[in-house]
Amino acid sequence: MSQVSILVFDIFGTVVDWHGSIVRELSAAHPQVDADAFARAWREGYQPAMQRVRSGERAWTRIDELHRGILDEILPRFGLDHLDEDQRARLNRVWHRLDPWPDSVPGLTRLKARFTLCSLSNGNIGLLTNMAKRAGLPWDCVLSAEVFRAYKPDPRVYLGAAEVFDLPPAEVMMVAAHQDDLAAARACGLATAYIERPLEFGAAHVKDVSPDPANTRHARDLLDLAEQLGC
Amino acid sequence: MSQVSILVFDIFGTVVDWHGSIVRELSAAHPQVDADAFARAWREGYQPAMQRVRSGERAWTRIDELHRGILDEILPRFGLDHLDEDQRARLNRVWHRLDPWPDSVPGLTRLKARFTLCSLSNGNIGLLTNMAKRAGLPWDCVLSAEVFRAYKPDPRVYLGAAEVFDLPPAEVMMVAAHQDDLAAARACGLATAYIERPLEFGAAHVKDVSPDPANTRHARDLLDLAEQLGC
């Protein structure tokens, strides 16, 4: 553990609250829609869409475009198929405007004093950069599946992050609120830290945040992780 | 001009003083060596090494490795062929430890309030991230030839930067102290800003910094650019 020098972060759910942010924006614009169901439906389309890229059925495609395809699919189901091109494009960019969890900016700021901090998300570079600038996320480097042209949990993403810094995987720690992401990182030799985000899917769908002893660390939030890592 | 929202920066010579930094480090460690000639010889190997990658003669190779190859070639010429592996590896990392010009951090900090700031260098991602962390360069995003697997002046680098942000090239401005870099960016439709760095090659080899009216802006340094752009 003492040798870890780079922390790489999952973003959606781990650093930013996608569910709450989408619910807030959608409720304001379309109060008649079940925003909780809408946010979850949009997110549910995410893994299958990436899977088509992972399997090679679809050529490399950015998340912005995958998000848009899912959005077009779900809009009729929520009575929103009247939205025009501009409204759809704007709504799709909500993923660039996600709000951080309250501990994210102070936690990252403390961690940054001692570690190099990178995003390591399936989100595209432009999305992650726009999000960070708006939310004040203090990345040293924006790494993305787009850099490696592969989506997590493809090993090329985790190993690629270590290779960018010319470091053995054990000197890089993956930080995420998802055990499957961490398991894939661990299989590549990275250290791992689980972050509890019980409200990732909203207060109506509290998530199981049980510890997995295979992780190097288990933290309540990013301030707790900073504490544990002596920052 | 009013529509530019992203500034992308050349790094070596434009934001950091490679010549002065190498001279300082080499003079301290090996006072008997002509550090000015050494720094220039190292840098002179840079374009031919990248050209072998550009031409396809050599597979994609990071700058760290190209720098090391040039270093191994020039060491005997400067009476330093006795350096062992560790010493060579450490010396090669001087490119991660280059000091910014005095105006770089305050200039970038002012520009950052209004624009998204990205590196756009032939340097590799790890090098640029380590450099930024040490020097306090406040990038919103570290973009590198490594992301696009092509070296400037390959159009894929300039067009790739615009594509990352899903913007037309005219909304991106390339900032550099080298007219050939800016000419290539301009040919891709980017706006351009030339930064005078008369001492890039040291006080003994003052560089011509004449304006080229084809550039969108011509600035003395990054504080002057911030002033011109209303930051």
* Three-state DSSP state, B119: strand
Q: Do residue B142 and residue A146 have CB atoms under 8 angstroms apart?
A: no
Q: Name the β-bridge partners of B173.
A: B7, B191
Q: Name the β-bridge partners of B191.
A: B173
Q: Do residue B140 and residue A129 have CB atoms under 8 angstroms apart?
A: yes
Closest CA to B103 of B13, B3, B201, B223: B223
| Tokens describing residue A57 | 């059925």
Instruction: List the single residue in A132, A141, A146 with the smallest CB-CB distance to B129.
Output: A141
Chain A interface test: which of B7, B63, B142 (most A C-beta within 10 Å):
B142
Residue B188 CB burial class (10 angstroms; 0-12, 13-18, ≥19):
buried
Q: A28-37, long-range: CB within 8 Å, 24+ apart, which pairs?
A: A29/A91, A30/A80, A32/A79, A33/A78, A33/A79, A33/A80, A34/A78, A36/A202, A36/A204, A37/A78
Q: Do residue A125 and residue B146 have CB atoms under 8 angstroms apart?
A: no
Chain segment B22-59, per-residue pLDDT in tens: 999 999 999 999 999 999 999 999 999 999 999 999 99
What is the edge-to-edge ordering of all strands in the sheet holding B191-195? Answer: B141-144, B116-121, B6-9, B172-176, B191-195, B217-219
Q: Do residue A147 and residue B125 have CB atoms under 8 angstroms apart?
A: yes
- Phi, psi (5° rounding) for residue A228? -60, -35
Q: Do residue B130 and residue A124 have CB atoms under 8 angstroms apart?
A: no
Alpha-carbon distance B221 to nearest alpha carbon in chain A (angstroms): 24
In the structure, what pLDDT confidence band is assigned to residue B2 with cuts at 50, 70 and 90? Answer: low
- Region of B154 (left: φ > 0; alpha: ψ -120 to 50; beta: rest) is beta
Chain B interface test: which of A66, A108, A127, A141 (most B C-beta within 10 Å):
A141
Alpha-carbon distance B213 to nearest alpha carbon in chain A (angstroms): 31
Mean pLDDT per 10-residue interval, chain A, length 231 residues: 89 98 97 97 94 93 96 97 97 98 98 98 98 98 97 97 97 98 98 98 96 98 98 95
Instruction: List the single residue in A125, A146, A165 with the smallest CB-CB distance to B126.
Output: A165
Mean pLDDT on B114-141: 98
Residue B83 CB burial class (10 angstroms; 0-12, 13-18, ≥19):
middle
Alpha-carbon distance A136 to nearest alpha carbon in chain B (angstroms): 10
Instruction: List the single residue in A126, A164, A166 with the smallest CB-CB distance to B164.
Output: A126
Chain segment A118-168, per-residue pLDDT in tens: 999 999 999 999 999 999 999 999 999 999 999 999 999 999 999 999 999
Pairing of strands B6-9, A172-176: unpaired
Token look-up 């946010």 returns A39
CA distance A103 to A137: 11
Span A6-17+98-228: which CATH code? 3.40.50.1000
| Tokens describing residue B201 | 């090659």
Instruction: List the single residue in A124, A140, A143 with the smallest CB-CB distance to B132.
Output: A140
Token look-up 């995958």 returns A66
3-state DSSP helix/strand/coil percent for chain B, to nearest 5? Answer: 50, 15, 40
> What pLDDT does residue A25 have?
97
Q: What is the DSSP letter of A173?
A: E
Alpha-carbon distance A72 to nearest alpha carbon in chain B (angstroms): 19
Which residues from A are below 8 Å from B166, CB to CB?
64, 126
Report domain extents, chain B. Answer: 6-17+99-228, 18-96
Closest CA to A29 of A83, A109, A107, A98: A83
Alpha-carbon distance A161 to nearest alpha carbon in chain B (angstroms): 9
Span B18-96: which CATH code? 1.10.150.240
Q: Do residue A124 and residue B64 have CB atoms under 8 angstroms apart?
A: no
Compare all CA atoms of chain B with the CA of A115 and give the residue at the minimum distance.
Answer: B133
DSSP of B175-191, one letter per residue? Answer: EES-HHHHHHHHHTT-E
CA distance B191 to B154: 17
Q: Do residue A166 and residue B64 have CB atoms under 8 angstroms apart?
A: yes
> What pLDDT does residue B181 have?
98
Q: What is the mean pLDDT of chain B?
A: 97
Compare all CA atoms of chain A with the CA of B118 and give the residue at the minimum distance.
Answer: A129
Token look-up 């802006």 returns B217
Q: Do residue A142 and residue B141 have CB atoms under 8 angstroms apart?
A: yes
Q: Do residue B147 and residue A125 have CB atoms under 8 angstroms apart?
A: yes
Percent of chain B with pLDDT over 70: 99
Token look-up 């159009």 returns B155
Chain segment B153-167, per-residue pLDDT in tens: 999 999 999 999 999
CA distance B1 to B23: 38
ipTM over 0.90: yes
> What pLDDT does residue B15 have?
98
Which residues from B are below 8 Å from A125, CB to CB?
141, 143, 147, 164
Token look-up 């973009």 returns B143
Span B6-17+99-228: which CATH code? 3.40.50.1000
What residues have CB less than 8 Å from A90, skipping those under 6 apart? none
Amino acid identity, residue B195?
I
Alpha-carbon distance A129 to nearest alpha carbon in chain B (angstroms): 6
CA distance A210 to B33: 61
Q: Which H helix or E strand runs over A32?
A: none
| Tokens describing residue A192 | 């791992």
CA distances from A53 to A34, A108, A185, A188, B163 (A): 30, 31, 20, 21, 19
Closest CA to A128 of B142, B206, B37: B142
Q: Which H helix or E strand runs over A48?
A: helix A46-54
Closest CA to B147 of B164, B135, B134: B164
Q: Do residue B129 and residue A116 have CB atoms under 8 angstroms apart?
A: yes
> What pLDDT does residue A159 have?
98
